[in-house]
Amino acid sequence: MTYDPSADVIEVIRTPSPGPVAGAYRAFGETLRGLKTTFARIIEGPVTIQYPEEKTPVYPRFRGRHKLHRFEDTGLEKCVGCSLCAAACPADCIRVVAAENTPENRVSAGERYAAVYEINLSRCIFCGYCEVACPFDAITMGHDYELSDYTRSDLIFTKEMLLAEPVERTPLRTEGE
Amino acid sequence: MRAFANVYYFEPWWIQVVKALVIFLVAFAILPLLTVYERKLMGRMQGRYGPNRVGPFGLLQPLAEIVKFATKEPSRPTTSVGFLFRLAPVIAILTGITALAIVPYGDVQHIFGRRVGLYGIDVSIGPLYVFALAGISFYGIMLGGWSSGSKYSFLGAMRGAAQLISYEVSQGLSLVGVIITAGTLSLTGIVHAQHGMWYVIPQFVGFIVFLVASFAETNRAPFDLVEADAELVQGYFTEYGGTPFVAYLFAEYVNMVVVSGIAVTVFLGGWMIPGNPHVPGWVDPIVVIVKMMLFITFFIWVRATLPRLRYDQLMSFGWKVLLPLATLNLLVTAIIVGA
The distance from CA B7 to its chain's CA centroid, rounded to whole angstroms, is: 24
Q: What integer best gives the mean pLDDT of chain B?
A: 83
- Taking alpha carbons only, the member of B246, B244, B255, B28 closest to residue B134 is B255
Are B49 and A37 an interchain contact pair (Cβ–Cβ within 8 Å)? no
Q: Into how many domains does chain A fold?
A: 2
Within an 8 Å CB–CB cutoff, is residue A48 touching chain B? yes
pLDDT of the residue at A177 = 58
Confidence at B5, pLDDT banded by 50, 70, 90: very low
The answer to whether residue B191 scores a pLDDT higher than 70 is yes
Within an 8 Å CB–CB cutoff, is residue B316 touching chain A? no
Q: Which amino acid belongs to residue B96? A: G
Confidence at A176, pLDDT banded by 50, 70, 90: low
Are B305 and A38 an interchain contact pair (Cβ–Cβ within 8 Å)? yes
Query: Are both A88 and A39 inside the same structural domain?
Result: no
Average pLDDT over residues A137-158: 87
Find the distance separating the first CA and the last CA of chain B, reported in whole Å.
40
Residue A126 in any domain: the answer is yes
Q: What is the pLDDT of residues B214-251, one digit of tens each?
A: 888 888 878 887 776 777 777 778 888 888 888 888 88
Residue A121 in any domain: the answer is yes
Q: What ranges do the domains of chain B cover?
A: 79-107+122-338
Are B305 and A34 an interchain contact pair (Cβ–Cβ within 8 Å)? yes
Confidence at B1, pLDDT banded by 50, 70, 90: very low
What is the rounded distance in angstroms from the CA atom of residue A58 to the CA atom of residue A174?
9
Confidence at B122, pLDDT banded by 50, 70, 90: confident
Query: Are both A32 and A110 inside the same structural domain?
Result: no
What is the rounded distance in angstroms from the CA atom of residue B236 to the CA atom of residue B232?
8
Are B306 and A34 an interchain contact pair (Cβ–Cβ within 8 Å)? yes
pLDDT of the residue at A132 = 92
The answer to whether residue A130 scores a pLDDT higher than 70 is yes
Residue A116 in any domain: the answer is yes
* Residue percentage of chain B with pLDDT more than 70: 95
What is the rounded distance in angstroms from the CA atom of residue B158 to the CA atom of residue B155?
5
What is the sign of the dihedral through the CA atoms of B157, B160, B165 and B168?
negative
Q: Which residues of A touch B223 (CB under 8 A)?
A: none
Q: What is the pLDDT of residues B28-59, one digit of tens each?
A: 888 888 888 999 999 889 888 888 888 788 88
Report the chain A residue with the minimal C-alpha distance to residue B47: A46
Query: Are both A104 and A74 inside the same structural domain?
Result: yes
pLDDT of the residue at B6 = 47
Query: Are both A120 and A88 inside the same structural domain?
Result: yes
Q: Which residues of A touch B302 (CB under 8 A)?
A: 35
pTM over 0.80: no
Residue A175 in any domain: the answer is no
Residue A53 in any domain: the answer is no
Are B47 and A39 an interchain contact pair (Cβ–Cβ within 8 Å)? no
CA angle B160, B163, B333 (to 5 degrees): 145
Q: What is the pLDDT of residues A44-84, one digit of tens each?
A: 888 888 888 888 888 888 888 888 888 888 888 888 888 89
In this structure, are residues B163 and B216 in contact, taking their beta carbons and an 8 Å threshold? yes
Are A41 and B47 an interchain contact pair (Cβ–Cβ within 8 Å)? yes
pLDDT of the residue at A161 = 85
* Residue percentage of chain B with pLDDT more than 90: 1
What is the rounded distance in angstroms from the CA atom of residue A54 to the CA atom of residue A171?
9
Query: Are both A37 and A83 inside the same structural domain?
Result: no
Residue A17 in any domain: the answer is yes
Within an 8 Å CB–CB cutoff, is residue B46 touching chain A? yes
The answer to whether residue B211 scores a pLDDT higher than 80 is yes
What is the rounded distance in angstroms from the CA atom of residue A155 to the CA atom of residue A121?
5
Query: Are both A91 and A132 inside the same structural domain?
Result: yes
Residue A137 in any domain: the answer is yes
Are A34 and B48 an interchain contact pair (Cβ–Cβ within 8 Å)? no
Q: Which residues of A touch B49 (CB under 8 A)?
A: 46, 48, 50
The answer to whether residue B4 scores a pLDDT higher than 60 is no
The answer to whether residue A25 scores a pLDDT higher than 70 is yes
Q: Which residues of A touch B304 (CB under 8 A)?
A: 38
Q: What is the pLDDT of residues B300-329, one digit of tens each?
A: 999 888 888 888 888 888 888 888 888 998
Average pLDDT over residues B61-78: 86
Report the chain A residue with the minimal C-alpha distance to residue B44: A42
What is the distance in angstroms between the Cα of A155 and the nearest Cα belonging to chain B?
A: 29
The answer to whether residue A148 scores a pLDDT higher than 60 is yes
Average pLDDT over residues B196-207: 84
Average pLDDT over residues A95-121: 87
What is the distance in angstroms between the Cα of B47 and the nearest Cα belonging to chain A?
A: 4
Within an 8 Å CB–CB cutoff, is residue B313 touching chain A? no
pLDDT of the residue at A90 = 92
Residue A2 in any domain: the answer is no
Instruction: Lowest mean pLDDT of A62-76, B98-112, B244-258, B282-296, name the range.
Output: B98-112
Average pLDDT over residues A169-175: 73
Query: Are both A43 and A71 inside the same structural domain?
Result: no
What is the distance in angstroms between the Cα of B269 and the nearest Cα belonging to chain A?
A: 25
Query: Are both A24 and A84 inside the same structural domain?
Result: no
- Taking alpha carbons only, the member of A141, A147, A163 closest to residue A63 is A141
Range of the domain at A140: 66-163
